[in-house]
Structure 1
Amino acid sequence: MFNTIEIDRTNLTIMGVKFSDLRTLDSTANAIGSNMFEGFQPTAKGIEIIRDYVTGKISLSEVVAFAKQKAYV
């Protein structure tokens, strides 16, 4: 089954999570979409974590820690 997520390129949001620019939104949406084919089910919190990693706000080790804590749920 194919699931969709809400992407609003006008307001620069994915599932309500705000992005600063279209390029970051598109690259994040592409990464999320690729992972969804492998069974990933995104949440708004998970998208925030991915956005913060892509923009350099958090490190890879912090992403791993969030994943271990299941903070993306």
Structure 2
Amino acid sequence: MNQVKVIRQRYQMKRPDFAALLGVSVRTLEGWESGRFTPSGAAKKLLQVIGASHEAFAQLQRFKGESQMIELERDPEALTIMGVPFASPKAYQAAVNAIANNMFEGYVPTVEDVRHLVDDAQSPIDPREILKQVEAEEHVVTHD
């Protein structure tokens, strides 16, 4: 059986609903399922991801409709996110990755959040300090 159809049926979706979820026409979906043509580019990758992961399918369903698209305002040349400048390409890219990963979970970043990331990038985290803080918190909890 055709893989596109198998994926659609696994999620028990009707063609119009599945086509809308993928952002394609029902006619395109029918063409894929009949084997007249095959998905390519982003559609192919998206089908591979949701075919392999129920979690990815659930995430895709959360973003139905264009109104739920969240874009991160960033400028890779100026190394800015939401107008907040980063000192290095490495710090900028790490922040973009962290924010984007959390946006998949529904997080909407603020300028203040981005400023915190800049501060964190400028003052590296000392694992010994974190361990001291954790131990101090545990001491307070167990000795109150």
TM-score (norm 2): 0.38
Consecutive unaligned residues of structure 1, counting only runs of 5 or more, are: 62-73
Q: Larger % of helix: which? A: 2
Aligned residues: 61
Residue aligning to 2:95: 28
Residue aligning to 1:10: 77
The DSSP-based 3-state class of the residue aligned with 1:31 is helix
Alignment check: 8 A CA contact 1:52 1:58 kept: no
Q: Larger % of strand: which? A: 1
* 1:23 alignment partner AA: K
Which has the larger Rg?
Answer: 2
Choose between structure 1 and 2 for higher RCO, CA contacts under 8 A separated by at least 6 residues: 1
Alignment check: 8 A CA contact 1:14 1:47 kept: yes
Identical residues among aligned pairs (%): 34
TM-score (norm 1): 0.71
Runs of 4+ in 1 over 3 A off after TM superposition: 57-61
| 2:122 aligns with one of 36, 44, 55 | 55
CA-atom RMSD, angstroms? 2.1
* 1:53 alignment partner AA: D
Distance in 2, matches of 1:35 and 1:56, equals 22
